[in-house]
Structure 1
Amino acid sequence: MDPADLTDVLDSVRDFIRTEVVPEEERIDAEDAVPERIVAQCKEMGLYGFTIPEQYGGLGLTASQEVRLAFELGWTTPALRSLFGTNNGIAGHVLLEGGTEEQKKQWLPRLASGEVTASFGLTEADAGSDPSSLTTRAVRDGDGWVLNGSKRYITNSPVADVIMVFARTAPDAPGNRGISTFLVPKGTPGLSVGPKDHKMGQFGAWTADVYLDDVRVPFENVVGGEEGIDKGFLVAAKCLAHGRLHIGAVCVGMADRLVHETVEFARTREQGGKPIARFQLVQGLVADSVTDARAGRGLVLDAARSFDDGTDMVSGPAAAKYFCSEMVGRVADRAVQVHGGAGYMRGVAVERFYRDARLFRIYEGTSQIQQVIIARDALGRAARG
């Protein structure tokens, strides 16, 4: 996208979030739902397809452009980003990374417009950050495949029109091998979704378990067709690397909002007849949070540049996700501390963000998985025995 056009997009999104979404944050948290008016506006603004190439109806942002947009999205409740995050991220990129041209033409324009919401069906009860123990199976039967198994914590599954299901097609293959990806549309017989999960935070962002009981899909629903069989993990790894960069940027945006809330409170809250901003111990907390947020921003921008030029598409995103997800937790904790008792009360923004931030250290690869990725990239064969 042209820099001038990107500036216009960022300005529009910033205004939309701060004037339309922020006033609705408490309602979203209380009702566990994003108002339909907000959803419609997101579709009109092209937010359901900002990473999807222009030829398929999206905005076609590069990674460096995308993270700047994600900085803006992080300013408000993560439920907003979750509406369209899977379309642009781990689900949409399944098609971008591994789909046939026919599959891209069929699905990507509908993802970009928001007509279709997609989910990424990888995680299972005993297969989270390490999918090598994935047990969902797909068996070839005539001119199609039959899928059996279950998935856990699948984002947007209660409203998904299509789920990218990862299943074993070669049960005897070791570890991460022998996994394929299948397009399973809503309404396919045997596909069902459990009740919405009741989470610690991130209300308005829906997750649920997905069940597959003799789900039959045609052969053309294998992502990548014949060449895509048994390549599901490779596709998933690429999707997750991109997603980690995006999550790191969202965490930076959230940290910026937390710094803003902390500074405004410290300026106006008085103790002993003077604002607590005068107390050096409070200043220390603010300084640490400002420094953390700036460090995260610099790391994400650097990792995005390396992702775009192809020099680092593994370790950089992992480092960005690892540092920034841990960083925003520290910033949220300091924000609550500066607010004192008020920071522990429902209805105060920093209390909600404190709950929301915790999940970022877990999904799309825990902090410990990111450590392994980063270390193995640095150490090479020595780390793998």
Structure 2
Amino acid sequence: MNRPSTAITQDVSLKDSTPDEFGFDFLLVGQVYDESAVPMLKITAEGNGQKREKTLNNIPQNIRITVDSFGNSTDNPFYKPLYNGEENGGTKKYEYGITVTDSAKEYNNPGDFGAGTGNTTDRYYLFDDLYKPVLSAYKIQEVYAMLRGIYTSGGGGGRGGASAVDPKTAEDVRKILAAAQLGGEGSKKGTFALNPSRNPRFAIAGDKPVARDELEANPPTAVLPTLYLDDTLKVQLSCNLDGVPLNAPEKYNFFLMTLADFSAYTGGLAYPSEEKINSADFPPANAIRIQNSNISWAKQGSNYLVTLKIDTELGLSIPNKYILLVQGTDQNEKYPLIPDLKGVDKGVYGFTLAKTVTNRRYM
């Protein structure tokens, strides 16, 4: 029978230390390794009188997954009930645990499908604790092999050569991991913090967002503000509650997507996750970028009022519904801009494009 999986996480801290803080999105970042596939990973979190768990499926070796967002209203929400308060409620701390299940089975007869649910472990490690003494020299699959007692410097360990690793070295690595282990029967726990107001915000001036679920349930009649072709859209960019200054204007990009394309791109999330909107793959091919020649800026204290010209050069279609996306962070370069929800679950900003220029909504 093979050994339970080895899991290493980032963006989590030791209990009694200053925890890493997540903004609007709660992410799982790290690595997990097993000889068998890892079909399931369960995250548990407890603090401030709340306890939640979330199960993720089909886990890759290198993990960067948005577990949940504050603005989501799903069948099994994690972030919002765990935070249990308004988004301006400040920083809240939680204890953290993970349980990993692999797909190892017991095979009694040749050709059968195997029995059992696989190996399960609730032990894990922090990347920062292991980087210098272990992970700077060995890959996670090599660490797994040392824990199992099968590591060699060639083949099984994947490091080339043919001789077995020095047994003392492997034993030293096992001792380091034993001391760094979180979860299991030990008292050491990981912690993290949530603060949805850490992200800077954007909003269409004078409007409230519209619930995305409402738009998707009845697109022909759901109401987005009307914007007339060759008119302008005014967008407010605002600092977060910590007052971290916004970046220079050239650091921000503005995009439009049709409602259908936006829904397909974001999946079950209210807005593109931090990992998506900050990735090299953003924007998607069907996003329409508003060029700098169509953008003008005005400073309002610590915030910006941005005017976007929506003209025929953008190639928009009437009467499509378009959703606004803004890419960029404040000066801490960590938390991306998100829609200012103003109390609307899964709220988005956008407009329905119209041809006539009478009764203009935006001036």
TMscore range, shorter length: under 0.3
Could you say which structure has the higher strand fraction? 2
Could you say which structure has the higher helix fraction? 1
**TM-score relative to the length of structure 1:** 0.22
Larger RCO, structure (CA 8 Å, separation 6 or more): 2
Greater Cα radius of gyration, structure 1 or 2? 2
**TM-score relative to the length of structure 2:** 0.23
